[in-house]
């Protein structure tokens, strides 16, 4: 899940009072923007650079909600508002495949999330203030209302056309819904038992990950120097966790491309490295490592050529290995990604501007090998908590269904073979009877002829 903090609320008099404290360091600008999405007893809340999930013990009642007043106290950096709730309903609802399971074990139906931002009225220190619907995006959230980013430019390369007008929750919901729509059970079944590798291609499961090719060519050295002279680079230590998590998402996509292409780039590399990264394909911030792994593994089962769960896990192991020992390899791969995007006929070079160039500077000048070793340790620990169930694609149920189909096919095959044997046995008996009957007839005929001859 994209959110970082979770708050649980208990309603009083059928009203759920919600209070959120915002650290002043979290505010990147003085603008006031917020976004609220709701479903049953779950509320997703986005305020500038702050993301919260609020859970109420009762279901929210927003059917007839006309306005929702949000109070912001600047001196205390507190946000408070009240949402009406229904009486307690103790009946448990059985989750279906569209439910999202987050790190706290809560569930909600992503397809039924409802945006209620339009009903909100913001009061800052008691004074009604317009809510802005513009949001930051890109590396460190450094970009805002960039006039060079046009819908027509982003259309071929990104699922979010106007990130400055889409909150983190918008981007998250859009991605989740697209993934549910695009996931193919048949494709997963096809690659479940054995990876389907086209003729002439090496099996990516057998690829030996190599970090030795990490030295920069003279061209790459010049590119690195040019990029690092970029004056607009801005790094905020307070956002370091988000920066690292988005980098992991990009690195996992790179590792998939490297493994599936045998260490070489091809004409599909730019697309692969984009589609598997939530930051590059949806401008979506990733606020914990577990989510970064889950999103990558989900998307690796939905979009690229090879859709295999074990292959995705091998790519995560490759990323851990790269963080432990391949500091220079990561830098080189980011530069190769920069070239790959730059050479595309579409406008993918925009992704260089908003992400790749800044990450090249970050890896080269800010991050250290010790930082990456610490990140590798955290990634490894997070990896242990990721399972097929946590991917929320009902993989175990699909595998059970596939095994039942295979067992049924085996029984049918055995039954057909048994019928063939019985038919063959019956045919042999009929043939023997025929041969026996023919022999008897021949013997009688032969005997009759001989008797006539001797007479």
Which DSSP string do the residues of 214-261 spell out, in sequence order?
A: -PPPHHHHHHHHHHHT-TT----GGGHHHHHHHHHHHHHHHHHHHHHT
Q: Which residues contact 444 (CB under 8 A, 6 or more apart)?
A: none
Which is more confident, 61 or 247? 247
Model pLDDT for residues 75-131, shown as the tens digit of each residue: 888 899 999 998 876 655 555 556 676 666 667 788 888 999 989 999 999 999 988
Report the distance separating Cα 171 and Cα 176, nearest Å. 9
Which residues are CB-contacts of 210 (< 8 A; sequence separation ≥ 6)?
Answer: 263
**Confidence at residue 2, expressed as pLDDT on a 0 to 100 scale:** 47
Cα dist from 382 to 247, 271, 378, whole Å: 15, 27, 6
Residue 84's DSSP bridge partners are: 15
pTM of this prediction? 0.85
DSSP secondary structure string, 254-284?
HHHHHHHTTT---TTHHHHHHHT-HHHHH--
Predicted pLDDT of residue 10? 63
Please state, in angstroms and rounded to a whole number, the distance separating the CA atoms of residues 307 and 195.
Answer: 8
The answer for residues whose C-beta is within 8 angstroms of residue 60's C-beta and 6 or more apart is 16, 38, 40, 41, 43, 83, 84, 85, 86
Domains of the chain, each with CATH number or no CATH? 5-133 (2.60.40.790), 140-393 (no CATH)
Range ranked top by mean pLDDT from 72-76, 138-142, 199-203, 245-249: 245-249
Cβ-Cβ contacts under 8 Å for 154 (sequence gap 6 or more):
160, 161, 162, 347, 350
Length of the chain: 455
What is the spatial distance between Cα 131 and Cα 121, in angstroms, rounded to a whole number? Answer: 7
Best-predicted range by mean pLDDT (20-29, 186-195, 303-312): 303-312
pLDDT in tens, 28-60: 555 688 899 998 889 999 887 788 888 888 889
Q: Are 250 and 65 in contact (CB under 8 A)?
A: no
Q: Is the pLDDT of residue 359 over 80?
A: yes
What tens digit of pLDDT does each residue of 267-276 get? 999 999 999 9
- Give the sign of the dihedral formed by CA 230, CA 258, CA 239, CA 279: positive
pLDDT, tens digit, for every residue of 317-334?
A: 999 999 998 789 999 999
pLDDT for res 314 = 97
pLDDT at residue number 419 = 58
- What φ, ψ does residue 8 adopt, rounded to 5°? -110, 135
Percent of the chain past pLDDT 70, that is, above it, reads 82
């Amino acid at each position: 899940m994209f959110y970082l903090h979770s708050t649980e609320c208990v309603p009083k008099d059928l009203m759920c009072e919600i209070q959120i404290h915002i650290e002043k360091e979290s505010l990147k600008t003085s603008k006031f923007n917020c976004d609220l999405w709701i479903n049953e007893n779950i509320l997703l809340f986005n305020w500038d650079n702050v993301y919260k999930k609020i859970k109420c013990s009762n279901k929210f009642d927003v059917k007839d909600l006309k306005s929702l007043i949000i109070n912001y106290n600047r001196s205390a950096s507190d946000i408070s508002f009240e949402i009406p709730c229904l009486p307690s309903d103790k009946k448990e609802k059985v989750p279906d495949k569209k439910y999202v399971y987050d790190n706290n074990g809560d569930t909600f139906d992503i397809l039924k999330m409802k945006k209620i931002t339009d009903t909100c009225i913001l009061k800052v220190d008691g004074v009604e203030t317009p809510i802005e619907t513009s949001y930051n995006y890109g590396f460190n959230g450094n970009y805002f209302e960039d006039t060079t980013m046009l819908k027509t430019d982003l259309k071929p390369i990104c699922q979010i056309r106007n990130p400055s007008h889409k909150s983190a929750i918008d981007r998250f919901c859009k991605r989740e819904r697209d993934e549910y729509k695009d996931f193919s059970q048949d494709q997963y079944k096809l690659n479940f038992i054995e990876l389907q590798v086209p003729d002439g291609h090496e099996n990516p499961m057998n690829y030996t990950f190599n970090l030795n090719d990490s030295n920069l060519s003279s061209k790459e050295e010049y590119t690195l120097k040019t990029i690092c002279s970029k004056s607009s680079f801005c790094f905020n230590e307070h956002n370091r966790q988000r920066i690292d998590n988005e980098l992991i998402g990009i690195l996992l996509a790179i590792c998939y491309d490297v493994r599936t292409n045998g260490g070489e780039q091809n004409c599909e590399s730019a697309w692969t490295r984009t589609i598997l990264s939530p930051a590059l394909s949806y401008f979506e911030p990733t606020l914990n490592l577990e989510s970064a792994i889950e999103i990558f593994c989900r998307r690796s089962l939905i979009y690229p050529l090879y859709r295999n769960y074990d292959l995705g896990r091998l790519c995560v192991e490759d990323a851990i290995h790269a963080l432990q020992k391949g500091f220079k390899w990561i830098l080189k791969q980011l530069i190769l990604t920069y070239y790959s995007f730059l050479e595309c006929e579409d406008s993918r070079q925009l992704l260089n501007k908003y992400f790749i160039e800044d990450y090249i500077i970050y890896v080269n000048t800010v991050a250290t090998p010790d930082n990456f070793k610490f990140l590798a340790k955290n990634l490894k620990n997070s990896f242990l908590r990721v399972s097929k169930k946590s991917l929320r694609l009902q993989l175990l149920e699909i595998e059970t269904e596939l095994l039942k189909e295979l067992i049924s096919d085996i029984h049918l095959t055995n039954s057909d073979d048994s019928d063939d044997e019985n038919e063959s046995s019956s045919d042999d008996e009929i043939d023997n009877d025929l041969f026996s009957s023919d022999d008897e007839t021949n013997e009688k005929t032969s005997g009759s002829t001989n008797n006539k001859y001797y007479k």
